[in-house]
A and B are shown apart, each in its own frame.
Chain A
Amino acid sequence: MKVLVAVKRVVDYKVQIRVKADQSGVETENVKMSVNPPDENAIEEAVKLKEQGLAEETLSVTIGDEKAQDVLRTSLAMGIDRSILVKSPNSLEPLAVAKTLSKIIEKENPDLVLLGKQAIDDDANQTGQILSTLLNWPQACFISNLKIDGNKLFLSREIDEGIEKLETNLPAVLTCDLRLNTPRFASLPNIMKAKKKPLDIIDISTLGIDTNPKIKVLKVEEPPKRKAGIMVNDVKELVEKLKYEAKVI
Chain B
Amino acid sequence: MSVLIIAEHDNNILKSSTLNTISAAMKLSDDINLIVLGSKIENLCKNTQSIHKVSKILKCDNEKLENFIPEIMAPIVSNIAKNYTHVLAPASTFGKNLLPRVSALLDVTQISDVIEILSENTFVRPIYAGNAISQVETNQNINLLTIRPTAFDKCEESGGEASIEEIEFLNTDTPTVFIGREVSKTDRPDLGNARVVVSGGRGMENSDNFELLYELADKLNAAVGASRAAVDSGFIGNECQVGQTGKMVAPELYIAIGISGAIQHLAGMKDSKVIVAINKDTEAPIFNVADYGLSSDLFQAIPEIIKELDLLNKIES
Interface residues of A (CB under 8 A from B): 11, 13, 16-17, 19, 26, 38, 93-95, 98, 117-118, 120-130, 132-134, 138-142, 144, 154, 158-169, 177-179, 213-223, 226, 229-232, 234-236, 238-239, 241-243, 246, 248-249
- Determine which of B130, B174, B305 lies in contact with A238 in the assembled complex, contact meaning CB atoms within 8 Å: B305
Shortest beta-carbon distance, A95 to chain B, in Å?
A: 5
Complex interface: chain B residues within 8 A of A132 (CB): 71, 101
Q: Which of A128, A133, A165 has the most CB of B within 10 A?
A: A133
A-B contact pairs, 23 of them (CB 8 A): A11-B128, A94-B110, A95-B104, A117-B245, A123-B244, A125-B100, A126-B103, A126-B110, A134-B104, A139-B97, A139-B176, A141-B96, A162-B182, A164-B178, A164-B182, A219-B134, A220-B132, A220-B135, A229-B287, A231-B294, A235-B294, A242-B274, A248-B252
In angstroms, Cα B131 to Cα A123, docked, is 11
CB distance B245 to A26 under 8 Å? no
CB distance B107 to A123 under 8 Å? no
Complex interface: chain B residues within 8 A of A248 (CB): 196, 252-253, 273-274
In angstroms, Cα B112 to Cα A129, docked, is 13
CB distance A94 to B100 under 8 Å? yes
- Determine which of B109, B138, B273 lies in contact with A94 in the assembled complex, contact meaning CB atoms within 8 Å: B109
CB distance B92 to A160 under 8 Å? yes
Closest to A127 in B: B100
* Interface of A (DSSP majority class): mixed
Q: Mark B42-64, 1 if CB is under 8 A from A, else 0.
A: 00000000000000000000000
- Determine which of A133, A215, A232 lies in contact with B109 in the assembled complex, contact meaning CB atoms within 8 Å: A215
Complex interface: chain B residues within 8 A of A126 (CB): 100, 103, 110, 112
- 20 further contact pairs, Cβ within 8 A, besides A38-B245, A242-B292: A26-B132, A120-B264, A121-B128, A122-B127, A123-B128, A133-B104, A133-B105, A163-B182, A166-B178, A178-B228, A178-B245, A214-B138, A216-B137, A218-B135, A229-B291, A238-B305, A239-B308, A246-B253, A248-B274, A249-B196
